Amino acid sequence: MPFALALTVILGLLAIFQLALALGAPWGRFAWGGQHRVLPTRLRIGSLVAIVIYAAVVVIAYDRLGAIDVFPEGFSIVAMWVVVAYFALGIVMNALSRSKPERYAMVPISIVLAILSFLIALGYGSLAMAA
């Protein structure tokens, strides 16, 4: 399950970043369009929501691979493809950002997340494949 582990590590680091933003860290130029040094309240709430989304993605990924059994199999397969689309959209959105720091930092991260999600959606690294 190296793909799921890599996804978990990257999303864990992004969750720490988003938590720091929500708590007022002056890193806003790397997120949410890069228009604010310190995020306003609505974007801080958005950062907290992002953390919840990251956690849900990790659960879906591990469920898809058979490491945990939380959802029906059909749901986790479809949900993982939704995750792929989410991260693919993230590539586009980050590439369109007016903030150079956000583009340079987040586009490569989004590409890696999209690739990892794609491989997981295909079932690579699943326990069924290992058996």
The pLDDT tens digits for 18-48 are 999 999 999 999 999 999 999 999 999 999 9
pLDDT of residue 111: 98
Q: Does 45 fall in a domain?
A: yes
Q: Does 85 fall in a domain?
A: yes
Taking the CA atoms of 117, 118, 119 and 125 in sequence, report the sign of the dihedral they define.
positive
Q: Does 130 fall in a domain?
A: no
Q: Does 56 fall in a domain?
A: yes
Residues 6+ apart with CB under 8 A from 108: none
Q: How many domains does the chain have?
A: 1
Answer yes or no: pTM beyond 0.85.
yes
What is the rounded CA–CA span in Å between residue 126 and residue 72? 15
Q: Which two tokens stand for residue 40?
A: 């306003």
Tell me the backbone φ, ψ of residue 87, rounded to 5 degrees. -75, -30
Q: Does 18 fall in a domain?
A: yes
Point out the residues of the chain with pLDDT beneath 50: none
Q: Does 58 fall in a domain?
A: yes
Locate all alpha helices (DSSP H) within the chain, ordered by sequence: 2-22, 41-64, 73-95, 100-121, 127-130
What is the residue range of 58's domain?
A: 2-123
